[in-house]
Chains A and B, each alone.
Chain A
Amino acid sequence: MNSIILATVSRLLTGLLLVFSVFLLLRGHNLPGGGFSGGLVAASAFVLASFASGFPAARRLLVVPPRVIMGFGLVVALVAGLAGNVAGYPFLTGLWDTTLFPVVGKLGTPLFFDVGVYFAVLGVTTLIVFSLGEDSEEED
């Protein structure tokens, strides 16, 4: 797929989609959005990039291999859950800071958990799409 239009548009859209995905992630606790849909939007940004300029370029854009992103997400979610244990509550108990931050609102471990979900979903989706895509390219 060597479309100049697609390539030009994707350069703009990839960035926009990524910003949008972070936006979704951060507002998720109070408004529609969250780590799951944010992660999917981020993944579609990279999928778009891969369609426009090929899988190697998309991988370079991602910098870190999808598997590592996936593992990172799982670890973040787990650590966010363990924070409850450290504070002496059961696993996955949400801990909250009471100060209000702009955009995000209150900060708490559930937000970090959601960040973990975001990265896990991003990693899973890109891993599957890249594996499938590169495999079909090799066979061609």
Chain B
Amino acid sequence: MENLPIIILASVFVAAFLAPALHRVLGDRCGLVLSLVPLAGAWVYAEMVPRIMAGQPFVYRHAWVPSLGISLDFRIDGLSLLFLLLISVIGVFVTWYAAGYLAGKKDLGRFYLYLFGFMGSMLGVVSADHLVLLFVFWELTSISSYLLIGYYHNEAKSRAAALQALLVTGAGGLCLLAGVILLGRMAGTFLISELLAMDAAALVAQPGFTTVLILILLGAFTKSAQFPFHFWLPNAMTAPAPVSAYLHSATMVKAGVFLLARLFPLLSASPLWFPIVAPVGAVTMITGVVMALGQNDLKKILAYTTVGVLGTLTMLLGIGTELAVKAAMAYLLAHAIYKAALFMTSGTIDHETGVRDPDLLGGLRRAMPFTAAAALVGGLSMAGVPLLLGFVSKEYFYKALLDAQGAGVLWEVLGVGASVVMVAAAITAGIKPFWGKLLPTPKHAHEAPWTMWLGPVLLGVAGIKTGLFPSYAGAGLVGPAAAAVLGDGGFVADLKLWHGWTTALGLSAVTVLLGLGLYALLPRIRAARGIFGGLARLGPEHGYDNLLSGLLAFARWQTSVLQNGYLRNYILTVVMFTVVLVGWMLPGVVPSPDWDTMVRPHVLTVTVCLLIMAGAIFACLTSSRFTAILALGVVGVGIAMLYFMFSAPDLAMTQVLVETLTLVLFVLAFYRLPVFGNYSKKSVKIRDAILAAVFGTVMAMVVLVEQSSRAADNAVSRFMGENSLALANGRNVVNVILVDFRALDTLGEITVLAIAALGVFAMLRLRPGRGGKEDR
């Protein structure tokens, strides 16, 4: 049972694919059964804590694509473990939550398929030790996130948001892939553990490292919604609440931060690390919280503060001191716990009352006491009130800022400013809806089913427990995580609740007071919402829209030029390019034909050739479509005979069969074709005739070249001939090539054939206007 973490990873994917069937059998209860998988995962990962604390990472290796040096390498250290626990524990809660939130939806099974697919990919990202493997899981999270954001797929807004998230993170993913490959080639290894053990300074000094750094940062920044790519995250709030709670607060958006942390020892050695990462993080932090001020939608407020927190984490990693890294890990843990709870409670409010505007909500605590309690704890933790983990992490955040170099007092000003807004947002999202006077809501409010409040309540308990006794979380999770990030085995971090009367404590107190003041001013700020709308319009999302519409216009233009639907134009293009590309290489290599040594052709061969030529010419000149088809048939059968004469019976047989079936298809389509007319002008005909003649000449020359070079170098066909029986137990070399030597090509070909057939089927049988007839 050594490989339990890997078994868990695999079973999450298995659970994903079983989910639709399970939903058919169990209905809404399938979520509870499915949640056993992440629950088991949480258990397994928790059991690993002592071992990781002792500095013994879990390692698993399995060959995957040995020819490319890609293997399934997993390595779980402190950083991985922190994420694994967050993903599995919050995964359990979200699975429960979705069972209540989406109860009765008929595609709940599909939802769980996506959700568990995402969960598995995320577990994969954080435990991968191979750069390519990490990238594969990374892309899987993008795709599953696309499907989850677009879950309400019949709403245009949902689809647009899903597409936007996919395009932004997908573009970043491509940058990451390029960066990862460059880095792997530069270092000579794709194993992350080996990379981090190398001499970072030497690697960083290599030419081209700046490119690697920027590409990898682009991948991380798009994923973690850093400015100027932050806009997709608030838009992704069109997703159902469980998705927002899971992907857009606790896990996926932190993948970018994870990547920065994972490669921290290497990338932070670059002199560009601090000047890029810290400012980007700071700008994101400020953008997020400023935009959060103007929102009147609980989910949007939480989304923008999430952007702010992601900025904070990036900024801390950018600062990169021991204290900052430790603060980042503590902040990450605290944020995941309170934000997941708040996303779920605000989803519950929306679900039970139909309202998401905090101004229209109040006094719900009597109607939904458990949800109110969970939201209260989450809100207080977010505000950084003592005895909760949010307070502890904010203390470390301030300590790290006080300790940071490079921008003087600006760090503290920015940090406190952002935290003040967090306090106001926390009150708005966690406290305001439940306290004060009961406001009437469209739906009569009552407590949600236990599936929807148990998770947030347990998260609240976790927040209190870790807040009161932070040293457990410090030594067990945050410390090993920070040690893994810093690449320093001996570093032990501890979290303390009480540090004495420090500057950080003073800043915390000031933050809460200013936050309360800001909260009082919020209605007035929101009244000026127009300004925020204007800000958003000026922002980078505008650039995204322009880029996208420009790209689409370009695609339309080039499609209308290249894919204009006329078969003759396609053939013209293909032939022309072949003539040009092959033709310009020919001069000089074409041997003059040696007439004397050439074998005199058999009279039968000549006859067949003449027959083919006659058929081709006749097909061009005839004015009846039917005769043209028959004439082409003559050409095809003639070619088959040539194959046969030159001892290629396999080719001949296939050619005859294909000719026959083509004829059948022609006959079937015959009556649907327009009247056979004379459409082309004379000049076009002359052009085509010239091109055809040139093409024929070029092909003849290619044959000559091929013939003359064949004697010298026929290594490939000799290999095939000699090894067909020895290696593949077959005497028919053609077939051995198809099913053994080049079987991958064949597999690709039959797949393409199948796709083409489905395309024909879809166009003919599924097109609109057929009145939804039964299709088989």
A contact set with B: CB distance below 8 Å: 28-37, 40-41, 43-44, 47, 51, 59, 65-67, 70-71, 73-74, 77-78, 81, 90-92, 94, 96, 105-106, 108, 110-111, 113-114, 116-117, 120-121, 123-125, 127-129, 131-136, 139-140
Residue of B669, B735, B754, B761 near A28 (CB, 8 A) is B735
User: Please, which residues of chain A bring their CB within 8 A of the CB of B658?
Assistant: 40
Assess whether A74 is in contact with B750, with CB atoms less than 8 Å apart.
Answer: yes
B766 closest partner in A (C-beta): A131
CA distance A86 to B36 in the complex (A): 29
Residue of A30, A36, A43, A136 near B661 (CB, 8 A) is A43
CA distance A73 to B657 in the complex (A): 20
Within 8 A of A (CB), among B63-87: 66-67
User: Please, which residues of chain B bring their CB within 8 A of the CB of A40?
Assistant: 654, 657-658, 661
CA distance A111 to B730 in the complex (A): 10
Assess whether B661 is in contact with A131, with CB atoms less than 8 Å apart.
Answer: no
A-B CB contact pairs (8 Å), 16 listed: A29-B729, A34-B738, A37-B653, A70-B757, A96-B729, A110-B730, A110-B736, A113-B740, A120-B753, A129-B661, A129-B668, A131-B761, A131-B765, A133-B668, A134-B765, A135-B765
CA distance A116 to B746 in the complex (A): 11
Within 8 A of A (CB), among B642-695: 649-650, 653-654, 657-658, 660-661, 664-665, 668-669, 671-672
Sample of 11 further A-B pairs with CB below 8 A, known A47-B661, A125-B757, A127-B761 = A29-B736, A33-B650, A34-B734, A36-B738, A37-B653, A67-B761, A78-B747, A113-B743, A127-B758, A128-B760, A129-B664
Assess whether B653 is in contact with A128, with CB atoms less than 8 Å apart.
Answer: no
Given known A129-B661, A131-B760, A132-B665, contact A94–B728 (CB-CB < 8 A): yes
Bin chain B's interface residue count: 35 or more
Which are the 5 A-B pairs with shortest beta-carbon distances?
Answer: A40-B657, A29-B730, A32-B649, A120-B750, A30-B731
Assess whether A110 is in contact with B743, with CB atoms less than 8 Å apart.
Answer: yes
Assess whether A34 is in contact with B739, with CB atoms less than 8 Å apart.
Answer: yes
* A139 CB, nearest partner CB in chain B, Å: 7
Assess whether A41 is in contact with B657, with CB atoms less than 8 Å apart.
Answer: yes
Assess whether A37 is in contact with B729, with CB atoms less than 8 Å apart.
Answer: no
Assess whether A128 is in contact with B757, with CB atoms less than 8 Å apart.
Answer: yes
CA distance A44 to B653 in the complex (A): 13
User: Please, which residues of chain A bring their CB within 8 A of the CB of B747?
Assistant: 77-78, 81, 92, 113
Assess whether B739 is in contact with A113, with CB atoms less than 8 Å apart.
Answer: yes
Within 8 A of A (CB), among B220-256: none
Residue of B664, B730, B756, B776 near A59 (CB, 8 A) is B776
User: Please, which residues of chain B bring their CB within 8 A of the CB of A51?
Assistant: 664
Q: B751 at interface (Cβ–Cβ under 8 A)? A: yes
Q: Give a binary string over B17-37; 1 marks a CB under 8 Å from any A CB, 0 the rest.
A: 000000000000000000000
CA distance A94 to B739 in the complex (A): 9
CA distance A140 to B665 in the complex (A): 17
A30 closest partner in B (C-beta): B731
Given known A33-B735, A74-B751, A136-B669, contact A123–B657 (CB-CB < 8 A): no
Given known A37-B653, A129-B661, contact A117–B67 (CB-CB < 8 A): no
Assess whether B664 is in contact with A123, with CB atoms less than 8 Å apart.
Answer: no
Assess whether B672 is in contact with A36, with CB atoms less than 8 Å apart.
Answer: no
* A35 CB, nearest partner CB in chain B, Å: 7
Q: B715 at interface (Cβ–Cβ under 8 A)? A: no
Q: B732 at interface (Cβ–Cβ under 8 A)? A: yes
Assess whether A37 is in contact with B650, with CB atoms less than 8 Å apart.
Answer: yes
CA distance A63 to B385 in the complex (A): 70
Assess whether B657 is in contact with A37, with CB atoms less than 8 Å apart.
Answer: yes
CA distance A114 to B739 in the complex (A): 6
* A44 CB, nearest partner CB in chain B, Å: 6
Q: B571 at interface (Cβ–Cβ under 8 A)? A: no
CA distance A96 to B654 in the complex (A): 27
